[in-house]
Amino acid sequence: MSMHIAIFGGGQLAQMTAQAGISLGFTFSFIVGEGEDTCCVDGLGNIVVFRQGMDAEALFNALKKPDVITVEKEMVDTTLMAALQQYTRVSPNDQSVYLSQNRIREKNFLRHHGIPTAEFEIIETQEQLESLPQRLGFPIYIKAAESGYDGYNQWRIQKQEDLSQVLLSDDVVLIAEKHIEYSREISVIAARRVDGDIVYYPLMENRHEDGVLISTIAPAPQTVKILEEGAIAYMETIMSSIDYVGILTIECFDTEQGLVVNELAPRVHNSGHWSIEACETSQFENHCRAIANIALGPTTTKGVGGIVNMLGKHGRPEDFAQEGMFYHAYGKEERPRRKLGHIAVLADNHMDVIDKLNKVLVFLYKGRYKTL
Ligand SMILES: Nc1ncnc2c1ncn2[C@@H]1O[C@H](COP(=O)(O)OP(=O)(O)O)[C@@H](O)[C@H]1O
Ligand SMILES: [Mg+2]
């Protein structure tokens, strides 16, 4: 069955989704903003530039009437998404994307469903800002409620003086989060089909440096059953309560009290890139399957997988021409901290995967980031 899928966004997530979908016989269009770089998706389908004032009907027609519209990012106009639903299926729906666009909405939603999150406050006055440590202790995470990602628009406050870096303004709502004591960061990915079927990927263990994902190992080492069951229960609750369709990612902290949820991403996720080589069905393929409402593929692993992100500067592909290593470059130009690609690894066991990830870290970063 051929289907035409339109994606809001034209970055590497759209690229890898289209690559997976094209193998299924689907065709793609990408909706980008004026002047947006399309290097990741050039050659993979039509590119439609969304111009101010364009309405849902005009966009739907410019896209040549896609069978389904999806997103590769959170920051999409959800009013437009809702209006597009009169013309075609939009998966995930506008409500799911709306929830994830704002940390306050997201946390309130999670708490409403009994899912633990960090304690937080919305910062409204200078006095409240200065007295945060009395209530939340140190460190404190101050984050823009909207438009923050990869550690941008974020401060980690370790002492009273650091608070002077934080400027309150009428334009940006800030929240303060209490520090969560965690042993590691875990993400959970699942795909839910239009008809409600769900498949889960194994839990993933992630390491961040300066607020950016640097490496993932999957399945997460030493995962006890109860942790996995907790993750599945959260996922089921969230997905069914908002009638979620597509891949959903939940970022969590692994704590002594179980998983505490940090963020939701209504899309395929950087921590799931290992699934291209290490799973029967990648997150990208299952996203396409879910939104097309065709049978989801098995998420069985072929071994232990992992990735290291290639940030800021390209590595030399020949360094990674080794068994069980896979070099992915997204076609972007180098820029500090920018995600330019990733190196995936696949091995029979965790020790060998960690060994390979460490080699990759050294090749790419030459000691700048510590090994695992
Ligand atoms: N409340 C918290 N307690 C402990 N660590 C945190 C907390 N909030 C954020 N972090 C750290 O900062 C990283 C980035 O924060 P996150 O909320 O995920 O923002 P982003 O949208 O930039 O990914 C997290 O992955 C984690 O390492
Ligand atoms: Mg995050």
Q: Which secondary-structure segment (H or E) carries 108? A: helix 103-112
Question: Tell me, what's the pLDDT at 210?
Answer: 84
Instruction: List, as one string, the DSSP characters of 220-280.
Output: PTT--HHHHHHHHHHHHHHHHHTT--EEEEEEEEEETTEEEEEEEESS--GGGTTHHHHBS
Question: Tell me, what's the pLDDT at 170?
Answer: 87
Among 162, 178, 194, give the residue marking a domain's end: 178
Tell me the ligand closest to 186's alpha carbon: 1
Q: Is 185 in the pocket of ligand 1 (CB under 6 A)?
A: yes
Question: Tell me, what's the pLDDT at 287?
Answer: 98
Distance (Å, whole) CA 266 – CA 106: 11
- Residues spanned by the domain of 295: 184-365
- 42 alpha carbon to ligand 2 midpoint, in Å? 28
The answer to whether 178 is a known ligand-binding residue is yes
Question: Tell me, what's the pLDDT at 97?
Answer: 98
Q: Is residue 190 part of a domain?
A: yes
Query: Is 335:293 a contact under the CB 8 Å cutoff?
Result: no
- Looking at the structure, tell me whether residues 155 and 189 fall in a common domain: no
Question: Tell me, what's the pLDDT at 211?
Answer: 84
Query: Is 309:270 a contact under the CB 8 Å cutoff?
Result: yes
Question: Tell me, what's the pLDDT at 326?
Answer: 98
pTM (two decimals): 0.96
Distance (Å, whole) CA 123 – CA 185: 26
User: Cα-flanking dihedrals φ and ψ of residue 364, to 5°?
Assistant: -80, -40
- Looking at the structure, tell me whether residues 262 and 166 fall in a common domain: no
- 48 alpha carbon to ligand 1 midpoint, in Å? 34
Question: Tell me, what's the pLDDT at 360?
Answer: 98
Task: For residue 176, list its beta bridge partners.
Answer: 121, 142
Distance from chain centroid for Cα 331: 20
Question: Tell me, what's the pLDDT at 305?
Answer: 98
- Looking at the structure, tell me whether residues 317 and 241 fall in a common domain: yes
Q: Is residue 352 part of a domain?
A: yes
Q: Is residue 138 part of a domain?
A: yes
Number of domains in the chain: 3
Q: Is residue 154 part of a domain?
A: yes
List, run by run, the mean pLDDT of 10-residue segments along the chain (372 residues): 94 98 98 97 98 95 98 97 98 98 97 98 96 97 86 89 92 95 98 96 96 96 95 98 98 96 97 98 98 97 98 97 98 96 98 98 95 96
Q: Which secondary-structure segment (H or E) carries 142? A: strand 140-144
Give the number of the atom of ligand 1 that is nearest the alpha carbon of residue 179: 3
- CB atoms under 10 Å from CB of 124, counted, come to 11
Q: What is the CATH number of the domain that holds 328?
A: 3.30.470.20
Cis previous bond, 266, omega within 30: no
- 361 alpha carbon to ligand 1 midpoint, in Å? 22
